[in-house]
Structure 1
Amino acid sequence: MFDYEFMVNAFAAASIVAVAASLVGYFLVIRGQTFAGHALSHVGFAGATGAVLIGVPPLAGLLLATVAAGAGMGLLVERFQQRDVAIGIVLAASLGLGLLFLHFFTAYASQATALLFGNVLGVDTQTVFALLVLGLATVGALAVISRPLLFATLQPELAEARGVSLKLVSVLFLVIVALATAASVQIVGILLVFTLMVAPAAAAQRLTIRLWPGLALSVVLALVEAWLGLTLAFYTDWPTSFWITALGAVIYLSAHLGPRRRARLVEAHDGHAHDGHVHGPLPGHHAGPQSQDGLSQLARDTPPKGATTVELEP
């Protein structure tokens, strides 16, 4: 299998994207912003097809559109009470705009198919290096803002009181999501971007509510999903995107149907269920943001809307 250069490139590209997408996806899950990530991929379709229309490389249009949309969502979406409705309208409008662009240049239908469903087996060495740069930029930027991002996610009111700009954190994070989305599209396509960005992260969060083990598990599951999907595609001649998506569904369902032992231990400790909120400290305990482990004590009884359970203690 590795005697073929296209398979070596495919494994390299899929590995880069799996790591970046799964790390970003984990924060998407705990912040309850997975729908926003899905919408960004559709905005990218409009940007990529628009770029083809004017003779610009699709990746350039994809990056520009997703980054601009990510920044815009971070600035504006919080003003809407029904933010999912607003994001859904943007999603549908972007997909329609992309189809309109394709209407004028039907000769690029094959490129549209690759954008929609991915074409990892067609990745060349130059694209692998481009994805490497994009992946490093994504992970590096996420590392830079990880501490204020965690603080703002776990306890936004306290974070704001201590000088953290929630809007700036939101904008920067969604720009990072846009970078990860642009990279993921190269592997699984716009319509299936969830399979690498959200499925491993959601499964990892289901299996452990501790931050660092959860992040590591998310990366491992995404790599397994990508590598096994490529291997099955090579030997069966079925589409790679199908296998990666199917494996993502199996991983998530397996994790979802299994017991959440850590959550049950916490429930036994304090007597109430922990699905759908961030677990905070015992009454009377206080802590500041002096360390990342200390951030676990900042989550109290009112988590961000749509957030999920996570612990940061070692």
Structure 2
Amino acid sequence: MFGDFFSRALIAGIGIAAVTGPLGCFVVWRRMAYFGDTMAHSALLGVALSILLSLNMTLGVFAVAALVAGALVLLQKQATLSTDALLGILSHSTLAVGLVLVGFLTSVRIDLMGFLFGDILAVSVEDIAVIYGGGAAILLILWLNWRPLLAATVSPELAEAEGLRPEVSRIILMLLMASVIAIAMKLVGVLLITSLLIIPAATARRLAATPESMAGVAAVLGAISVAGGLYGSRTWDTASGPSIVVMALTIFLISLAVPTARLFGRREHHGA
């Protein structure tokens, strides 16, 4: 089952899709696409620091992404700049600092293109274990916090009135995004991970009528995108990571032809 590199890539990609689908729904509902880009760009800084300090790369990427999320929360409390301006500063600064640090690591050979665009075909059995172990933990935390996260997404004021602490929910969501970026970076790369978070969820929004069904549909569409992208990559000898994103885009464009009536669920979903 794990002997063939294509099988390993397919299994790993489906594992990532199962996590990015539900999590991506909150990215779409909360209009957090730019935040997702910022977190993804910070991953390269995490890679450089991990190599420099001889740390585990997944943990290093998570730590840097979590610090960037914390920095955003602190800067937002200063109320001197708009959120999109702060995200722009953090996004491009972390990417630039990461690239500069990579330039100083002359004694280590770094596949920069692999980190930027991913190399899912090089995934190992150990990577699959990290993806499924980490993914299961992320989904469990997401499930346990589903109600407060959803309530804070619909109306932070009402959530606070109900004692659900929307600010805590926001921090949990940021940390979950940092986690999924850390485990997915090797597969689809720092520049494409946001696409896998957003496109299947955006497609599912057109097809699902409830938050729960949207999360499930997004996961399934992400898995189809992975499978279709990998088979397309093998057939036409194209880059695997971008091929997965192109497949996700193709499914989204096809969904535009579907009537706006929801196919899954009976009631209108929450969120913006």
**Which region of structure 1 is more displaced relative to structure 2, 108-117 or 26-35?**
108-117
Cα offset, 1:23, TM superposition = 1.0
Residue 43 (structure 1) aligned with residue 56 (structure 2)? no
Aligned twin of 2:237: 237
Cα offset, 1:258, TM superposition = 4.1
Q: Structure 1: state its 5+ residue gaps.
A: 267-278, 280-295, 300-306, 309-314
The amino acid across from 1:153 in the alignment is T
Task: Please report the RMSD computed on the Cα atoms of aligned residues, expressed in angstroms.
Answer: 2.3
Q: Distance in 2 between matches of 1:210 and 1:78?
A: 33
The amino acid across from 2:56 in the alignment is P
**Which region of structure 1 is more displaced relative to structure 2, 37-46 or 248-257?**
248-257
Which secondary structure does the structure 2 equivalent of 1:261 belong to?
coil
Q: Distance in 1 between matches of 2:166 and 2:2?
A: 50
Aligned twin of 2:31: 32
Are residues 232 and 3 of structure 1, via their aligned partners in 2, closer, same or farther at CA, if it must alter by over 3 Å? Answer: farther
CA contact under 8 A between 1:73 and 1:174: conserved in structure 2? no
Q: Rg bigger for which structure?
A: 1
Cα offset, 1:137, TM superposition = 1.4
Aligned twin of 1:68: 67
Cα offset, 1:160, TM superposition = 0.9
Q: Distance in 2 between matches of 1:78 and 1:260?
A: 39
Are residues 74 and 255 of structure 1, via their aligned partners in 2, closer, same or farther at CA, if it must alter by over 3 Å? Answer: farther
CA contact under 8 A between 2:68 and 2:90: conserved in structure 1? no
Instruction: Write out per-residue CA displacement over residues 55-105 of structure 1, whole angstroms, 9 at most, x where no aligned residue.
Output: 323222112111222344345436546101111110000110011111112
Are residues 74 and 138 of structure 1, via their aligned partners in 2, closer, same or farther at CA, if it must alter by over 3 Å? Answer: farther
Q: Distance in 1 between matches of 2:171 and 2:73?
A: 4
TM-score where L is the length of structure 1: 0.79
CA contact under 8 A between 1:75 and 1:167: conserved in structure 2? no
Q: Distance in 2 between matches of 1:3 and 1:47?
A: 29
The amino acid across from 2:112 in the alignment is A
CA contact under 8 A between 1:74 and 1:174: conserved in structure 2? no
Aligned twin of 1:54: 53
CA contact under 8 A between 2:120 and 2:188: conserved in structure 1? yes
Residue 104 (structure 1) aligned with residue 114 (structure 2)? no
Are residues 208 and 79 of structure 1, via their aligned partners in 2, closer, same or farther at CA, if it must alter by over 3 Å? Answer: farther
Aligned twin of 2:9: 10
Aligned twin of 2:159: 159
Which secondary structure does the structure 1 equivalent of 2:145 belong to?
helix
The amino acid across from 1:36 in the alignment is F
Are residues 228 and 156 of structure 1, via their aligned partners in 2, closer, same or farther at CA, if it must alter by over 3 Å? Answer: same
The amino acid across from 1:165 in the alignment is R
CA contact under 8 A between 1:208 and 1:260: conserved in structure 2? no
Instruction: Write out per-residue CA displacement over residues 243-284 of structure 1, whole angstroms, 9 at most, x where no aligned residue.
Output: 111112212223245431259xx9xxxxxxxxxxxx7xxxxx
Q: Structure 2: state its 5+ residue gaps.
A: none
Q: Distance in 2 between matches of 1:204 and 1:50?
A: 36
Q: Distance in 1 between matches of 2:235 and 2:110?
A: 24
Aligned twin of 1:131: 131
Cα offset, 1:209, TM superposition = 3.5
Aligned twin of 1:221: 221
The amino acid across from 1:210 in the alignment is T
CA contact under 8 A between 2:130 and 2:183: conserved in structure 1? no
The amino acid across from 1:68 in the alignment is L
Of structures 1 and 2, the one with the larger relative CO (CA 8 A, separation 6+) is 2
**Which region of structure 1 is more displaced relative to structure 2, 7-16 or 203-212?**
203-212
Cα offset, 1:162, TM superposition = 1.9
TM-score where L is the length of structure 2: 0.90
Aligned twin of 1:275: none
Alignment of 1:119-198 (within 5 A): 119-198=119-198
Instruction: Write out per-residue CA displacement over residues 118-167 of structure 1, whole angstroms, 9 at most, x where no aligned residue.
Output: 01111111111111111111111111111111111112111111222121
Q: Distance in 1 between matches of 2:174 and 2:250?
A: 28
Are residues 175 and 75 of structure 1, via their aligned partners in 2, closer, same or farther at CA, if it must alter by over 3 Å? Answer: farther
Which secondary structure does the structure 1 equivalent of 2:133 belong to?
helix
Aligned twin of 1:293: none
The amino acid across from 1:230 in the alignment is L
The amino acid across from 2:19 in the alignment is A
Aligned twin of 2:84: 84
Aligned twin of 1:303: none
The amino acid across from 1:62 in the alignment is V
